Amino acid sequence: MESLKEYVPGMDFVAKTFAGLENMLTAELTELGALDAEPIKRGVKFRGDTSMMYKANYMARTAIRVLKPIAVFEVNDEKDLYEHVMKIDWTKVFKLEQTFSVEANVFHSELTHSHFVALKTKDAIVDQFREVMGKRPWVNTDNPDIFVDVHLSHNICTISLDSSGHSLHQRGYRVAADKAPINEVLAAGMIRLTGWKGETDFYDPMCGSGTIPIEAAMIAMNIPSGYYRQKFAFMNWEGYDEALWLQVKQAADDQMGELKHRIFASDRSDKAIGFTRNNLKSAGLHKDIEVSCQFFDSIKPAAGKGIIIMNPPYGMRLEEHGELRDLYKGIGDALKKNFTGFDAWIITPSIDTFKFIGLRPARRIPLYNGPIETRFLKFEVYQGSKRYGEENRESVAPTRTRRTYENDDRPNRERRDDRPASDKRDDRPNRERHDDRPPFEKRGERPASERRGDRSADSGKREKSTPESERRREWEQSGHDGNRSRIRSYVSPKDGQAKKSTRKHRRPRTDELGE
């Protein structure tokens, strides 16, 4: 491998995104005119000129940042890193008066600490300026002019300039946020995965701060993702072409249009609705999106067809699991009651909880919301939707029932021979049928003490009854109903003794079985 490889200026780029959105970003960049777009882990490699870089930053909804690699080399220790970074002519990259910052990501390499790698890269840049100009540029970690990105994986180091600067999920319209708002890039990616482009009504019944309905309106109206943003890092680069940038921006803005269908945003929280209204006003969409404070099950759709996208609470804490079951059951009931004919999309990290919706998902798309692994589920709501866990009955041969035999003109004796074994009567005398029963069902032949001796070896190893096992069995038999959303203690805080079980048919303890 060459010690230092320089990329063709303005040709090679890498766009970063969330895990699970790589193919979506590849298609998006190809639509914008990118060449040789190829998905990689959490990103896409592509080629293009300067105008393509401007388009990717301004119009790619699923891109987090756009990087321009300037060098790649092999690194075995900190000395290699320092020497190779010094070979790059940083005086041609930015000016002495400009500030800069370095961000490093390290994977499976001899150098394991990302902060140390960033520090050594910064030292090399500063030392080069000091040797050439006698002065050094200053570091600004909050709002630098130049963003330097270092990616070190399997001892291969790539030095890039970040053309975006601050993450592209910072669209510029959010002025208020509820707790744990969904990322704008993830929200846009979810909408694009559904295939919706504004051709039907759109509902978000758990809108929070309004991110999903705002991104939906921007997609339906062709508003560029960077329309509200004032600054990009490439504006501080040497060779920045302002005329070309304005040309790219104007061409994208000319494609904006109006909504053809309605977008509804609702939430049960007055506080969340206040955040949504503020963000809509900041984006200039307060007259385009209908906002209301109401529960999901009280929503009556205006049309018989549309799409629902919702981001319910994740309930990551143990004590919230019971509430989560009730929530998902309520979602399923509301969908089946009020939204027949709709496609419902729900993002959730709980693989075990979504079954309480009571519908079989038509699609399951793995996505990552930051470090949280989730599933983006599609439910097709129509009359007679299959419930979760049902088998495909169309592939199973129909079973003859009693009603089927009512229309059979054959004699009774012939029809009886065709009945399933479970429906046939046993015409033998009682004594013969009694002899066919399993031994444990026969009575009066041996004393109880001998019959207990025939129990299997496994039954003799029954777990000894303890207060803990009694509580566990009672919890399992309770069906995990909503009243048990938080585990209640069955031990009195006074004497520390277990409360007596209130089950009508509890399992006898070992000392109650007798000799």
pLDDT digits (tens, 9 = 90+) for 428-470: 666 565 555 555 444 555 555 555 555 444 444 444 556 556 6
**What would the mean pLDDT of 257-266 be, rounded to a whole number?**
95
Q: Strand (E) positions, 81-214?
A: 100-107, 146-153, 156-162, 201-204
According to CATH, where is 3.30.2130.30 located in the chain?
Answer: 12-162
Q: Which fold has domain 12-162?
A: VC0802-like (3.30.2130)
Number of other residues whose CB lies within 10 A of the CB of residue 133: 12
Model pLDDT, residue 352: 77
Model pLDDT, residue 437: 55
Question: Has residue 87 got a pLDDT over 60?
Answer: yes
Question: Has residue 391 got a pLDDT over 70?
Answer: no
Whole-number Å distance between alpha carbons of 98 and 234 = 13
409 vs 233, more confident: 233
For residue 17, give the amino acid letter: T
**What would the mean pLDDT of 278-292 be, rounded to a whole number?**
95
Query: In Å, how far from its chain's centre is CA 41?
Result: 17
Question: Has residue 325 got a pLDDT over 70?
Answer: yes
Question: Has residue 367 got a pLDDT over 50?
Answer: yes
Q: Which residues of 138-160 are buried (b: 16+ CB within 10 A; e: fewer)?
A: eeeeeebbbbbbbbbeeeebbbb
Question: Has residue 395 got a pLDDT over 50?
Answer: no
Q: What's the token pair of residue 150?
A: 């270092």
**What would the mean pLDDT of 130-151 be, rounded to a whole number?**
95
Q: What percent of the chain has pLDDT over 70?
A: 71
Q: Which of 357, 360, 399, 362 is nearest to 378 (CA)?
A: 362
Rounded to 10 degrees, the C-alpha dihedral 176/245/13/181 comes to: 10
Model pLDDT, residue 408: 55
Q: Judging by beta carbons within 10 Å of its beta carbon (0-12, 13-18, 19+), is residue 475 exposed, middle or buried?
A: middle
Strand partners, 364: 377
Model pLDDT, residue 118: 96
Question: Has residue 29 got a pLDDT over 50?
Answer: yes
Question: Has residue 420 got a pLDDT over 50?
Answer: yes
Model pLDDT, residue 412: 60
Q: What is the pTM for the complete model shown? A: 0.73
Whole-number Å distance between alpha carbons of 487 and 485 = 7
Rounded to 10 degrees, the C-alpha dihedral 90/95/97/101 comes to: -50
For helices 50-59 and 22-32, the axis angle rounded to 10 degrees is 130
Question: Has residue 261 got a pLDDT over 70?
Answer: yes
Q: What does the pLDDT look like over 465-490, one tens digit per residue?
A: 565 566 555 555 544 443 333 323 22
Whole-number Å distance between alpha carbons of 309 and 345 = 5
According to CATH, where is 3.40.50.150 located in the chain?
Answer: 184-228+258-380
Q: Which residues of 340-354 are buried (b: 16+ CB within 10 A; e: fewer)?
A: eebbbbbbbbbeebb
Whole-number Å distance between alpha carbons of 225 and 66 = 14
Lowest mean pLDDT among 86-90, 413-417, 481-485: 481-485
The CATH H-level (homologous superfamily) assignment of domain 184-228+258-380 is Vaccinia Virus protein VP39 (3.40.50.150)
Q: Strand (E) positions, 321-473?
A: 342-348, 363-369, 372-380
In whole numbers, what is the pLDDT of the chain averaged over residues?
A: 81
Lowest mean pLDDT among 195-209, 221-235, 349-363, 472-486: 472-486
pLDDT band at 326 (very low <50, low <70, confident <90, very high): confident
pLDDT band at 349 (very low <50, low <70, confident <90, very high): confident
For β-strands 100-107 and 146-153, DSSP reports them as: parallel
Whole-number Å distance between alpha carbons of 382 and 423 = 36
Model pLDDT, residue 496: 40
Structural element, H or E, at residue 43: strand 43-47
Model pLDDT, residue 492: 33
Whole-number Å distance between alpha carbons of 282 and 502 = 59
What are the residues whose beta carbons fall under 8 Å from the beta carbon of 178, sequence distance 6 or more? 208, 209, 269, 271, 272, 275
